[in-house]
Amino acid sequence: MRPRPQTGRKLADLAVKVLSGVFAAVALLLLGWILYTVLQRGAAALNWAFFTELPPPPFMEGGGLANAIVGTLVITALATLIGVPLGLMTGIYLAEFGSHSWIAGPVRFVVNVLMGAPSIIIGVFVYGLIVLRFGFSGYAGAVALAILMLPVVARTSEDMLALVPNTLRESALALGAPRWRVTFGVVFRAAKAGLITGVILAVARISGETAPLLFTAVNSPFWPDSLGEPTPNLTVTIFQYAMSPYTNWQELAWGASLLITAFVLFMMLAARFVLRTRSI
Amino acid sequence: MKHMVAALALLAMGVPAAAGVTVQGAGASFPFPIYAQWAYAYNKATGVRINYQSMGSSAGIAQIKAGTVDFGASDAPMDAKDLQEAGLVQFPMVIGGVVPIVNLGGIKPGQLKLGDSVLADIFMGKVTKWNDPAIKKDNPDVELPDKEITVVSRADGSGTTWIYTTYLAEVSAAFKDMVGAGTSVKWPVGVTAKGNEGVAAYVKRLDGTIGYVEYAYSLQNKLPHAQLRNKAGTFVDPNTETFMAAAANADWKAKAPAFDVVLVNQPGEQSWPIAGASFILVREKMKNPQVVKAMLSFFNWAYESGGEMARKLDYVPVPDNVVKIIEDVWADKLSADGQKVWPVK
Amino acid sequence: MPSQGYLPPGPPTPDAARPSRSRQSSGDVLFRLGTGACALVVLILIVAIFAELIWGSRFAMREFGWRFLINEDWNPVRSIYGAASVIYGTLVSTAIAMILAVPVGLITALFLVELAPPRLSRVVSTGVELLAAIPSIIYGMWGLFVFAPWLANYVQPGLQGTLGFLPFFQGPTTGLGMLTAGIILAIMILPFITAVSRDVFRMIPPALKESAFGMGATTWEVTRKVTIRYGFKGVIGATLLGLGRAIGETMAVTFVIGNRYQIKASLLEAGATITSSLANEFSEAVGNELFQSVLIELGLILFVITFGIQAIAQLWLKRVSRSMGGGA
């Protein structure tokens, strides 16, 4: 019997090994390239004026994105206030009552589908729901972001709560505690780190979103009087300014990009820290 | 700083502040650079917010017709009949010029001369290379490479396109047949971008491109323009003088109250052949007198005090005698909630 | 943790025995109703989204009917619209992304699971996670200002020089077009495919691999014949999820696709996708009823496609975890 050729196999094996290393290196390289670009161009734009002044008209030096920074903070905070409780309650329902409920299956399915829905469609939906009736507003933008947060928080909450062993629940119930007490007092406490991680990640996700705000909160070069009108925000500003031919605007867009990226990465690290140390 | 904390608190409470009126406008990108400067200066002076979104003349007209903005802006004027049907009032706000911009390895502003129908031929795709004899003819001293011409035009409904194609259709019968004039035409060749901003950005990035923008975009982005031969036969550069020369021929009074004057291919030794006015459109019967009065006050301020800023960007302010006629139209035709809004007491 | 949330949870932990009716306090009834209501909101939401998209599309559907899907013309000023160019753009950019990301993702996952020492594996894993966390608008910025010019200056001329005889690589080398959009999409979905594949590969029972190694198979052979074959279904699931993400991606694509409503064979040409058309045109469609309706109909088409992909992915992955969780 002829022995099977060895060199072909060994060569293929080596080739794939080398290729996989190359691919991994390329992934890291791309990451480094992107982060370096954002850092380099963004840092050049960050100065005191950036954080305190209003946007300049084209071609004028100076100015900043103070209104957009505040706007993003407020819209994100409002979205969190709406989306987290809703998502949390949904997650609780799925984890605690899931196996005794016929709607849990469909709800879980829809939650997963919504997580993958294009964020711009959510923006179009909120446009039809709110903007056509009440005009562009920061409220509409917050609602759109809340809808994006909802499935993420629901899913992570359900997963984290399901991890808590039932013995904990059973012992609490055996002591006579009502169901809701058991969930909020005992189960929550056990799953605290995981739940908080889920919320942090959801906030990180929406803070970088642009598409849902494009036709809800839109943008504004001034300090708004209230959230009931077009509200300035960093992400839509980046979109508008980056596509413009004005170099001063493009620089501001990079500054905003650095802020957003830094915030998102910071949140990611915070989530990891919480999860690793299981303390908060 | 204090302002920021107060704003944050207000936003958090969702309470509308008593300060500041906001006026919403949308439309042409042609005048956007000067409108933005005026709005910024006016806000600093009075606290009134003029929020103008640049999205193209057609979109501006659509929005003012739908009533989603307080004023629209367009470079392609509507005629008296259309204005009547839509219940709109139109008036010129500023005058400027459309220029062909070129990005060709080291060419300086005004160095390239494009005579007669050469420009039209380029935009029709009949002339495809920079070293084509038709271009060489007018530019014997310029180094023209053997490179493909990338044509950049507008994708959106644009008054700038309307002014530009009106010119091309006038100087080239072939262009009139093949493409025609309009706010949005089917360009036979090239890539498209949105807004004057998009075209300027594109041309700035890429070598070997030619596009058309309102002059301020060329000037401020340091994009070289090409010289054109005007009706009188002279090659001219675009600037305040040549725009004014073109505008001097306009008979505004005859065209009031629609003011739909076309400044393309005007006679005059010094006239820039692609000049145009940019118009503001407002509804005849409006709501919310406070906002309307603030808006008209802004326009009046721009007419009276904004001239210097306009000239710096090579726009031509509307002449004083025309402003008088315009403001008479305001007094005559405009109202909010039933009451007259001009003059503001 | 990009993979979390993509593999469905295991069989739900049975909750504690329900207390008998008599012991249920009113607080508990409220509790169950309250949380149930929130869960119901999710269902109402998705129905509402479908309903609104369909309702908003009615003008466009009435005006154009089915022709809409195959008409290439796009002229808002003359009110002529056709979805063909954006559907084409969506499909092609996504296809490029998948062709690039799936093999690279699988082989990178292989690296992480089989080849790299644990510390290196963790570093690369973190790097991949960071790639997933970067917001898409940042990809757009980097793409427009850095990557596209780099492609235009260094890569595309080379491509045209060598493969220019193919219709795919002819035309202007502006850096803004299908190819650039496809590559950036590939970078964006790479982390998902890598992470899910990595998790799938890790779930292979070691005994299977060890027996293959014991017979003298090389690492690549073990991967091909054992890991990928066993985890094939999981890999399909990962691919489907990446696909869903790529199709729905907006900002990165909008920045670099060139925004031209045309169907051209060349990958170097500019194009448009459903998401880029929505991002670019929607604000200008305000006040124009037909235009708005057209865009909403495009949104509906997109939502139906992503819904379908998500649904298939969900069902598929459920089968996978059932078969793998209960296996060996």
pLDDT of residue A279: 52
User: What confidence score (pLDDT) does residue A3 get?
Assistant: 61
Q: Which residues of C touch B103 (CB under 8 A)?
A: none
Return the DSSP state at B125.
Answer: T
Residues 113..132 of C with a Cβ closer than 8 Å to A: which?
A: 115-116, 124, 127-131
Ranges of beta strands (E only) in A140-229 are none
Please state, in angstroms and as integers, the Cα–Cα distance from residue C87 to each residue in B248, C70, C242, C276, following that order: 50, 9, 18, 11
Q: DSSP for B280-335?
A: EEEESEES-HHHHHHHHHHHHHHHHH-HHHHHHTT-EEPPHHHHHHHHHHHHHH-E
Q: Which residues contact B163 (CB under 8 A, 6 or more apart)?
A: B75, B76, B98, B264, B274, B275, B276
Say whether pLDDT at A6 is over 80. Answer: no
C256 three-class SS: helix
Choose the weakest-confidence range: B216-230, C139-153, C208-222.
C208-222
Which whole number is the average pLDDT over C108-137?
90
Q: How far is CA C210 from the centre of its chain?
A: 34
Is residue B282 a contact partner of residue B70, using CB atoms and an 8 Å limit?
Answer: yes
Instruction: State how far the Cα of A30 lies from the Cα of C143, in Å rounded to an integer.
Output: 11
According to DSSP, residue B154 is labeled E
By percentage, how much of chain B surpasses pLDDT 90?
35
Q: What local confidence, expressed as pLDDT, does residue C4 receive?
A: 45
How does pLDDT run across B32-76, given as a tens digit for each residue? Answer: 989 999 999 999 899 899 989 888 888 889 889 888 889 999 998
**Who wins on pLDDT, C28 or B164?**
B164
**Above pLDDT 70, what percent of chain A?**
97
Mean pLDDT confidence for C43-51: 95
Among A175, B192, A116, which Cα is nearest to C242's? Answer: A116
CA angle B161, B165, B171 (to 5 degrees): 155
User: Rounded CA gap, A108 and A114, in Å?
Assistant: 10
Closest A-chain CA to B2: A52
A212-221, B9-18, C25-34 — which is least confidently predicted?
B9-18
Nearest to B225 by CA among B84, B61, B102: B102
Q: How far apart are CA B336 and CA B343, in angstroms?
A: 13
- What's the confidence (pLDDT) of residue B16? 43
HEC profile of B57-85: HHHHHHHHHHCCCCEEEECCCCCHHHHHH
Q: What local confidence, expressed as pLDDT, does residue B2 receive?
A: 52
Question: Does the pLDDT at position B1 exceed 80?
Answer: no
Lowest mean pLDDT among A63-67, B235-239, C27-31, C87-91: C27-31
Whether pLDDT at C8 is above 60? no
Average the pLDDT over A56-84 and give the result. 92
pLDDT for the residue C13: 47
pTM for this prediction: 0.86
C-alpha A196/C-alpha A173 separation (Å) is 25
B49 vs A73, A222, A228: nearest CB: A222
Residue range C282-287: mean pLDDT, rounded:
78
**What CA–CA distance (Å, rounded) separates A149 from A198?**
10
Residue pLDDT, tens place only, B137-185: 888 888 888 888 889 988 777 888 999 999 999 999 999 998 888 888 8
Q: What is the mean pLDDT of chain C?
A: 84
Closest C-alpha to C63, from C290, C278, C304, C287: C290
pLDDT at A85: 94
Residue A232 CB contacts under 8 Å (≥ 6 apart), including other chains:
A55, A65, A67, A68, A70, A71, A219, A220, A221, A222, A224
Q: How confident is the model at residue B19 (pLDDT cuts 50, 70, 90)?
A: low
Mean pLDDT in residue range A138-160: 94
Contact A154 C49 (CB under 8 A): no
CB-closest option in B16, B43, B201 to A243: B201
Helix (H, G, I), strand (E, B) or coil at B54: strand
DSSP code for A177? -
| A-proximal residues of C, 54-73, CB under 8 Å | 55-56
**Residues in chain A, how many?**
280
Confidence band for C222, pLDDT divided at 50, 70 and 90: confident
The phi, psi pair for B91, rounded to 5°, reads -155, 150
Which residues 247-266 of A are in CB contact (within 8 Å) with C?
250, 253-254, 257, 260-261, 264-265
Which of the four pLDDT bands, split at 50, 70 and 90, describes residue C189? very high
Phi, then psi, of C259 in degrees rounded to 5 = 55, 55
Range with top average pLDDT, A179-188, B114-123, B249-258, B278-287? B278-287
Q: Is the pLDDT of residue B225 over 50?
A: yes
| Residue C29 CB coordination number (10 Å) | 13
Region of poorest pLDDT, from A158-162, A201-205, C13-17, C146-150: C13-17
Residue with more model confidence, C324 or C190? C190
Cβ pair B51:A221 closer than 8 A? yes
Task: For tokens 């925000």, name the residue.
Answer: A233
Mean pLDDT for the stretch of residues C60-78: 85
Bridge partners of C109, per DSSP, are none
Contact predicate B105/B207, CB 8 Å? yes
Q: Does C20 have pLDDT greater than 70?
A: no
Residue B176 Cα distances to B124, B166, B180, B182, angstroms:
10, 9, 4, 10
Would you state the pLDDT for residue A209? 94
User: Cβ(A213)–Cβ(A149) under 8 Å?
Assistant: no
Residue C167 pLDDT > 90, yes or no? Answer: no
Q: Mean pLDDT across chain B, nearest whole number?
A: 86
Phi, psi of B285 (to 5 degrees): -105, 110
- CB within 8 Å of C71: residues ≥ 6 apart: C64, C80, C81, C82, C83, C84
In this prediction, residue B303 carries a pLDDT of 94
Interface mutation vs chain B, best among A52, A54, A59, A236, most B CBs within 10 Å: A59
* Closest chain B residue to A241, measured at CA: B197
Q: What is the mean pLDDT of chain A?
A: 90
pLDDT surpasses 60 at A229: yes
User: Which tens digit of pLDDT belongs to each residue from B21-36?
Assistant: 889 999 998 899 899 9
Q: What is the mean pLDDT of residues B213-222?
A: 87
Q: What is the pLDDT of residue B103?
A: 92
Say if CB B297 and CB B344 are below 8 A apart. yes
Mean pLDDT of A90-99: 89
Which of B62, B156, B157 is closest, CB to CB, to C287? B62
Residues C13-41 have a mean pLDDT of 71
C258 lies within 8 A of chain B by CB: yes
SS3 content of chain B, % helix, strand, coil (to 5): 40, 20, 35
pLDDT at C327: 40
- The beta-carbon neighbor of C107 closest among A13, A16, A103 is A16
Q: What is the pLDDT of residue C42?
A: 92
Instruction: Please tell me which residue, C104 or C289, carries the higher pLDDT value.
Output: C104
Residue C172 confidence (pLDDT) above 80: no
Residue C22 has pLDDT above 80, yes or no: no
Out of B184, B186, B192, closest to residue C260 by CB: B192
